[in-house]
Amino acid sequence: MAMASDLKKTFNASLTVNGAPWSGAVAIEETLLELLRNRLHLTGTKRSCESEVCGACTVLVDNQPMSSCNYLAFEAHQKSVITIEGVALGDELDPLQEAFIRNIGAQCGYCTPGQIMAAKALLIENPHPTREQIAEWLSGNICRCGAYGAIAQSILEAAQEYQK
Amino acid sequence: MIGSLELFQPTTVQEASQALAELGDKARIYAGGAELLLLLRNGLLQSEVLVDVKRIERLHRLEMDNGVLRIGACVTHHALENSALVREHAPALAYAESQVANVRVRNQGTLGGNLAFNDPHSDPGTVLLIHDAWLATGNQNSERRVALSDFFVDMYATALEAGDLLLEVEIPRLPAGMKSVYQRLHRYQRPTLGVAVGAAMRHGVIEEVRLAVGCVGPKAERLTELERKLSGAKLNDARRILSEETKYLRALLRPVDDLLGSADYKLYMTGVMLADALEQAGQNGNG
């Protein structure tokens, strides 16, 4: 079989994580969530449903929201990954983070990193979303505490802030 | 945790097909993993090798070709919902694509993967049935075209044979004057029911109509017999006609009781939503 040598057990990936370059071998079955949490110790990204339903593990890959629990790490090769740890500029919080704090857009907070990353992706694709567009986009980010009203309000306010 | 995997990244259909033929059940086609990785993680499917087909350039095309829209198997749902070409040529498909699961799944999942997986609770296939779509499949020896209605064999089963790849979806234009609509009912991310309607109407009379229903039973179906009954009927009578077709719908759609609802509920809602969709088609459809 000519292709046996073409089968890879690991992949040498080079990516950026929150702007910093990272290179290393990843197992083919290793998810981006496992790489981020277990090897890079970026534990802001949460593991929850592991079936692309809840949104707790949302990160940006080339500015697109992805479920890092169900996304193989090798796919991030030559791409930019942004996690919740990469949203603030040093000590300066992102307008989304400020707005979530101001509006109490969380209760237990477990879904919050995913909510903020999903919102970040929305504002990149659509800087002026309506409340309905926010609800539609965030329909895949579940908040069991039910902070949806405050989450939507936070995103509306952050959109205004970004335009200043 | 997903079990140990190896990766093969072919750049041609021939290489991919040859690997699939040689490796047999050990290998699975991998396009994005939105469905496959869930099955592997939960032990519903075993695999040792992923044959990643995303490096095959042809599977990424999205273009018009003599009035037919050609969509490569690896084009993502998110690319399709945002495509001006899809919105213009098949507006109900663009709408259905915008409703698939959530934005993360739409970024990762592909149209080809969705059709080849043939999960009964899915959106795009139902719309493609009213377009009389064809699928191009290929292996290391040859290519063939299969009508979508023949491609869907049963729940999670398609006409793909060992070593076959789904290459692209061919979507003919709807007949002139026909407006199309997709409507879905959902409690969770996967739809409970999806209906697609194409209808040409004049002065309140349905001149030509195409109907498809998905999610209710094992696979999405065209309702050809009901299409004949509705042709020439007044739009105002459509709701009554549909409500009298429960027996036909039950036999064709084979609805089941599940967590999304009882078979009776799904059948009842099928009639309601087909009528709603016909009315929406009378008012320009999905655009």
Q: Is A1 on the interface with B (CB under 8 A)?
A: yes
In a domain, A4, yes or no: no
CATH entry 3.40.50.740 includes domain B180-281: no
Cβ contacts of A47 on chain B, cutoff 8 Å: none
Statement to judge: residues A15 and A60 lie in one domain: yes
- Residue B251 has phi, psi (to 5 degrees) of -70, -40
Cβ contacts of B37 on chain A, cutoff 8 Å: 31, 70, 72
- The Cα–Cα gap between B179 and B172 comes to 14
Q: Is B107 on the interface with A (CB under 8 A)?
A: yes
Q: Are strands B27-30 and B49-52 parallel, antiparallel or unpaired?
A: parallel
In a domain, A2, yes or no: no
**pLDDT tens digits for B171-185?**
999 999 999 999 999
Window A:51-110, CB contacts with B under 8 Å: 51-53, 55, 58, 64-67, 70-72, 74
Judge whether A99 and A80 are in contact, CB under 8 Å: no
Of B37-46, B132-141, B184-193, which range is least confident? B184-193
Q: Note the pTM of the prediction, 2 decimals.
A: 0.96
**Going residue by residue through chain A (164 aa), what tens digit of pLDDT does each one get?**
446 678 999 999 999 999 999 999 999 999 999 999 999 999 999 999 999 999 999 999 999 999 999 999 999 999 999 999 999 999 999 999 999 999 999 999 999 999 999 999 999 999 999 999 999 999 999 999 999 999 999 999 999 999 88
Statement to judge: residues A82 and A100 lie in one domain: no
Cβ contacts of B3 on chain A, cutoff 8 Å: 29
CATH of residue A134 = 1.10.150.120
Per-domain boundaries in chain B: 6-53, 57-172, 180-281
Report in angstroms the alpha-carbon separations of B121 from B93, B213, B214, B260.
16, 11, 7, 10
Helix (H/G/I), strand (E/B), else coil: B142: coil
Q: What is the rounded average pLDDT for all residues in chain B?
A: 96
In a domain, A3, yes or no: no
Which of A86, A118, A135 delimits the end of a domain?
A86
Nearest CA in chain A to B10: A6
Which of A54, A86, A118 delimits the end of a domain?
A86
Question: Mind telling me how many Å the CA of B37 is from chain A's nearest CA?
Answer: 6
Residue B107 to residue A64, Cβ atoms within 8 A: yes
In a domain, A104, yes or no: yes
**pLDDT tens digits for B28-49?**
999 989 999 999 999 999 999 9
Report the CATH number of the B57-172 domain.
3.30.465.10
Q: Is B6 on the interface with A (CB under 8 A)?
A: yes
CATH of residue A50 = 3.10.20.30
Q: Which of A28, A31, A53 is the closest to B6 by Cβ?
A: A28
